[in-house]
Amino acid sequence: MSIVVQKYGGSSVADVSRLKQVAERVMRTRRQGHDVVVVVSAMGDTTDDLLALARQVSANPDRRELDMLLTAGERIAMALLSLAIRELGGEAISFTGSQSGIITNDRHVDARIIEVRPFRVEDELARGRVVVIAGYQGVSYRREVTTLGRGGSDTTAVAMAAALGAEYCEICSDVDGVYTADPRVVPGARRIASLSYEETQELAESGAKVLNAQAVEFAKDKGIVLYARATASPPGAESAEGGTVVRRFPPRMPGAVVGVASERDVLVLEARGDSDAAAVLAALDEHGVAGKQLHQSGAGEVTLVISRENLHDEGRLRADLAARFGGRVRLIDDLGALSVVGAGINQSFENLRRGSEALTAAGATPRGVATSSFRITWMVPRATLDDSVRTLHRAFLEQPSPALP
Ligand code: ADP
Ligand code: ASP
Ligand code: MG
């Protein structure tokens, strides 16, 4: 029997009635003749609520203890979903990340999966059971419980699909696929029926929350076909109703923009030339803080963008940077990152010019820009971010390209 891995996000299991609907969908998939592995997120806003609780106790919570706390969210969801499937007459068993054999490094709150040893999952599938796995968590070689970073249940699902040789992996959410922009921000955004791994990974890394970037990276490496779908849609590889399929595709016409994404909660680090760039980067590593779009000038000046998503002890980082580098290192806190994505997007400077002009005309003059072969990212005032997403969506995806001089 072929194995199908389905992942259900927090909004899909936010309350008991939704959880029961998920159990029905799982049973439907089972009746289609598949072995089913279900990866589940914490119910609703549980992870945010647990983080808020930790902050009431500690302004800079210890990362190991945070992991102990945060993994509880998915553990609740997995047990309840297993019970709901059993109520429908299915045979189900729930496992934590550790029990499922998800082995990670020991970078707490932002761990990477190193290998998956799904022996217990395989045994239970062989017994005819549906296996329900707590997403977003694993265990390190030192037997410490870890979490995979926000949105990490997607990663659990893809890693499990790869380890089990699954036919496909469905990521089920409140939105019925990947859109040309966040449909909550751009009402006119369109669903994209098919995307390559590279396009999806760039969208995810640029802040499109619908799929987790690390998950897409895994899928690309292992050639796992991903379906991003609404939980309300019917299951199945051939399900015609909407969704986005992510898999290997021949390259599109280079230069076209496929989507706009943004990341609101970022800090921009600027280090002056006399600050010793290597020491600044070493300090970030000591704090387990990853930066992106790093730029270092010949004069030793460094700028980079830090995502706050998995930075739960910012106060400690700020205090340490101030103690070591004083005013030579600044953290700028009023910008957001705004990206357009597409293969070969920078073959000429036309897209860059068009985007910059549109933003400036709309009064959101960019404060910096970075490019790669798949992406252009502008740093814009955070207060204008959503408007700027709409501006770029209009400029690139709602009208035929006007010829630039
Ligand atoms: P889940 O809890 O199911 O993992 P998430 O909240 O992580 O769901 O991701 C789904 C959300 O991602 C949607 O509600 C949508 O607002 C947002 N989103 C951001 N960018 C996009 C995009 N390009 N396409 C679809 N959804 C997007
Ligand atoms: N519950 C975790 C989060 O909120 C993981 C996930 O939903 O994928 O980030
Ligand atoms: Mg998610």
Taking CA atoms only, the protein residue closest to ligand 2 atom 8 is 151
Work out the pLDDT band at 239, boundaries 50, 70, 90.
low
9 CA: nearest ligand 1 atom: 3
Q: What is the pLDDT of residues 133-173, one digit of tens each?
A: 999 999 999 999 999 999 999 999 999 999 999 999 999 99
> Does residue 16 carry a pLDDT above 60?
yes
- Ligand 2 binding pocket, CB closer than 6 Å: 9-10, 41-42, 47, 73, 135-136, 150-154
> Does residue 405 carry a pLDDT above 50?
no
C-beta separation of 100 from 117 below 8 A = no
Work out the pLDDT band at 399, boundaries 50, 70, 90.
confident
Provide the pLDDT for residue 156.
Answer: 98
184 CA: nearest ligand 1 atom: 16
Distance in Å, CA 282 to ligand 3 centroid: 31
Taking CA atoms only, the protein residue closest to ligand 2 atom 5 is 151
Provide the pLDDT for residue 242.
Answer: 80
Helix%, strand%, coil% for the chain, nearest 5 = 40, 25, 40
Distance in Å, CA 150 to ligand 3 centroid: 8
Cα 146 → chain centroid: 17
Task: Over range 235-257, report the average pLDDT.
Answer: 81
Q: What single-letter DSSP state applies at residue 400?
A: P
**Average pLDDT for the chain:** 94
> Does residue 174 carry a pLDDT above 70?
yes
Answer yes or no: is the C-beta of 243 below 6 A from any ligand 1 atom: no
Tokens 């029990």, located at residue: 99
Answer yes or no: is the C-beta of 210 below 6 A from any ligand 1 atom: yes
Question: What is each CA distance from 168 to 30, 155, 380, in whole angstroms?
Answer: 14, 14, 38
154 CA: nearest ligand 1 atom: 4
Q: Which ligand is nearest to the Cα of residue 259, counting in written order?
A: 1
Question: What is each CA distance from 278 to 281, 282, 284, in whole angstroms?
Answer: 5, 6, 10
Residue percentage of the chain with pLDDT more than 90: 89
Provide the pLDDT for residue 401.
Answer: 54
Q: Which residue among 136, 148, 156, 312 has the greatest number of ligand 2 atoms within 8 angstroms of its CB, and so is best to mutate?
A: 136
Work out the pLDDT band at 240, boundaries 50, 70, 90.
low
C-beta separation of 207 from 392 below 8 A = no
What strand order describes the sheet that includes 145-147? Answer: 113-116, 102-104, 137-140, 145-147
What sign does the CA torsion over 209, 214, 217, 218 have? negative
Distance in Å, CA 48 to ligand 2 centroid: 9
Provide the pLDDT for residue 400.
Answer: 63
Work out the pLDDT band at 234, boundaries 50, 70, 90.
confident
Residue percentage of the chain with pLDDT more than 70: 97
Taking CA atoms only, the protein residue closest to ligand 1 atom 27 is 182
Burial grade of 15 (CB within 10 A; 0-12, 13-18, 19 or more): exposed
Please, which residues bridge with residue 191 across strands? 179
Work out the pLDDT band at 403, boundaries 50, 70, 90.
very low
**Which of 149 and 399 is assigned the larger pLDDT?**
149
> Does residue 290 carry a pLDDT above 50?
yes
Distance in Å, CA 87 to ligand 2 centroid: 26
Measure the CA–CA gap between 291 and 285, rounded to whole angstroms.
10
Q: What is the pLDDT of residues 339-374, one digit of tens each?
A: 999 999 999 999 999 999 999 999 999 999 999 999
Helix (H) or strand (E) holding 140: strand 137-140
Distance in Å, CA 71 to ligand 2 centroid: 10
Work out the pLDDT band at 404, boundaries 50, 70, 90.
very low
Nearest to 98 by CA among 82, 80, 81, 119: 119
Q: Which ligand is nearest to the Cα of residue 171, counting in written order?
A: 1
Q: Which ligand is nearest to the Cα of residue 42, counting in written order?
A: 2
Q: What tokens appear for 276 in the block?
A: 């010793």
The amino acid at residue 350 is E
Distance in Å, CA 250 to ligand 2 centroid: 32
Measure the CA–CA gap between 223 and 248, rounded to whole angstroms.
7
- pTM to 2 decimals? 0.95
Q: What is the pLDDT of residues 296-344, one digit of tens each?
A: 988 889 999 999 999 999 999 999 999 999 999 999 999 999 999 999 9
Provide the pLDDT for residue 238.
Answer: 65
Distance in Å, CA 49 to ligand 2 centroid: 12
8 CA: nearest ligand 1 atom: 3
Task: Over range 373-392, report the average pLDDT.
Answer: 97
Q: What is the pLDDT of residues 63-110, one digit of tens each?
A: 999 999 999 999 999 999 999 999 999 999 999 999 999 999 999 999
Question: What is each CA distance from 107 to 64, 65, 147, in whole angstroms?
Answer: 9, 12, 9
Pairing of strands 3-8, 168-173: parallel
Cα 389 → chain centroid: 19
Distance in Å, CA 89 to ligand 2 centroid: 28
